[in-house]
Structure 1
Amino acid sequence: MKSTKDKRRKQVNRKQQEKNPQLPNKKKRLAHKKKKLQKKMKQLFQELGLTILITFFLLIIIQQLTFSLTKIEGYSMLNTLMDNDRVLVNKLSKVKRFDLVYYRDTKSNEMAVRRIIGLPKEQFYYREDQLFVEDKRVPERFLVEIMKTSRNDKKNSTFTKDFGLQEVTGDQRIPEGKYFVLGDNRPYASDSRELGYIDEKDIVGVVKMRVMPFHQIQSF
């Protein structure tokens, strides 16, 4: 019975081929096109995957060269930055006065964030909670709130004790390639008053934003 059906099927196929002799060639062309399309799709996905991988590694390299996310440790920068805050550091930003800089402390070999007060070749001093650079008063507006709190807690006390550059470093002016930094928590901060200058080459970058905790996101 089965052989009879097979014979009939072959006869039908033979008749169809006789009516349309191009049918086998058409099937071959369709099969060839299908294989070609599958090959192209496979190649496309391989190239797409490779592109995504290369892009991912390039983004990592760019991030390493331009930005970094770091955690604050300690209380020297209260109330601007708190312990365990996460900040975004721009490694390409030019350093200016009052910038928050992320740098390596060569004495402790630890990373820290402090505020730039004195620039190379400058002379400065503090008198009665006022900063004077080249004998001109320079307002520190970022300290207004914390100074109010400090003065309420300790009446008639100065927030930044009087001192001059020469008193704490022995230099009349800041040397080339050096910076004088202070913590915003002036009465308790560990900074250039005790540790000396920071070197330009030890500065990783400028803190541009606090990103965590999320409810305290702030740009600087």
Structure 2
Amino acid sequence: MDFELLLVVATLVSGLIWLIDRLAFRPRRRARLTNEARALGNEAGIESGQVNDNEPLLVDYAKSFFPILLAVLVIRSFLFEPFRIPSGSMMPTLLVGDFILVNKYSYGLRLPVINTKVVPIGEPARGDVAVFRYPEQPEVDYIKRIIGLPGDTVRVDGQRLWINGDEVDLETTGRYEGDANLKHAGLTQAIETLPEGGPHQILMDTDRRLGSAQWTVPEGHYFVMGDNRNHSNDSRFWGFVPESNLVGKAVMIWLHWNWQDGGFDAGRIGRSIDTVDAD
């Protein structure tokens, strides 16, 4: 059971316990206690509300936790959800150990668990860093950059990229030295400028040859790639992301902590993902 489903179930159960008690059992409990108080001559206690209705512990817990669970559910499902970056596929934009916030309403409000869009608000744009449910394993969340929109033709030939027949501008800027564990240090760093999507930084392993292929993005789907081009499992290998699999747009880094390196980097906190520079 994933966390989102567990949160929905916990919120529903605690709310139902509180509601059923409020409508059915509390009135009976209070009536019984009121009759007992009258029998003991405690009329003053009845009038002043001092008669304790001995609320069951389960109901007390449900009443206490329900508003908290409901608030977390609403924020996480419709506003922002935290994620941790577990791999280097989006380097240098995002590093292993980055904790990010994902805007859940950028691509429309969706019901939790079933992920059905109920309020259309916006659509993905080329260049967005998006979180989505991995099509081959929907319980796993992936994060990649949106390269191709519905109807686009995307072509990859080696390290170069074409969109709708136009070659995407690519400017090499030097060697990458920012990876603390050195797994990707020494890769070629470049600035790629997508049409309508603006510039972003990517990493390329020029010693590894990428193949040549072309795709046409079907309606209701998106073509995604990682910024670490030679070290990313993305649409080049498993196909397109259905619109129904989208979770939201990554917008900000709120913490960086890499347990493997024991590294806490306060300098990355609060950085907008749209403007993250390589270290």
* Shorter-chain TM-score range: 0.5 to 0.7
**8 Å CA contact 2:174, 2:188 repeated in 1:** no
Task: Return the match for 1:209 from 233, 236, 252.
Answer: 252
Give the corresponding residue for 1:89: 102
- Structure 2 match to 1:106: 135
TM-score (norm. length: structure 2): 0.50
CA distance in 2, matches of 1:124, 1:189: 17
Cα distance, 1:189 vs. partner?
A: 0.9
Residue 231 (structure 2) pairs with residue 188 (structure 1): yes
Once residues 209 and 246 of structure 2 are traced to their aligned partners in structure 1, the CA distance between those partners, rounded to angstroms, is 24
What's the C-alpha RMSD, in Å, of the aligned pairs?
Answer: 3.8
Q: Paired residue for 2:91, among 78, 87, 98?
A: 78
Higher percent of residues as helix: 1
Contact 1:88 1:209 (8 Å CA) reproduced: yes
- For the pair 1:136 / 2:166, whether they are aligned, the reply is yes
Give the letter aligned to residue 92 of structure 1: Y
Structure 1 residues 64 and 160, CA gap change in structure 2 (3 angstroms):
farther
Structure with higher Rg: it is: 1
- Asked whether the 8 Å contact 2:224–2:241 carries over to 1, the reply is yes
Q: Residue deviations 1:105-158, cap 9 Å, x none?
A: 1313311111111111111223464432112233468x8567795238xx9927
Q: How does 1:1-220 map to 2 (within 5 A)?
A: 59-66=71-78, 67-94=80-107, 95-109=124-138, 110-127=140-157, 129-139=159-169, 149-151=186-188, 157=206, 161=210, 163-166=212-215, 173-213=216-256, 215=266, 216-217=268-269, 218-220=271-273
- The unaligned stretches of length 5 or more in structure 2 are 1-47, 50-63, 108-123, 178-185, 190-203, 257-264, 274-279
After superposition, the Cα gap between the structure-2 partners of 1:144 and 1:122, relative to the gap in structure 1 and judged at 3 Å, is farther
**Structure with more strand by fraction:** 2
Structure 1 residue ranges without an equivalent (≥5)? 1-37, 40-51, 167-172
SS for the counterpart of 1:86 is: strand
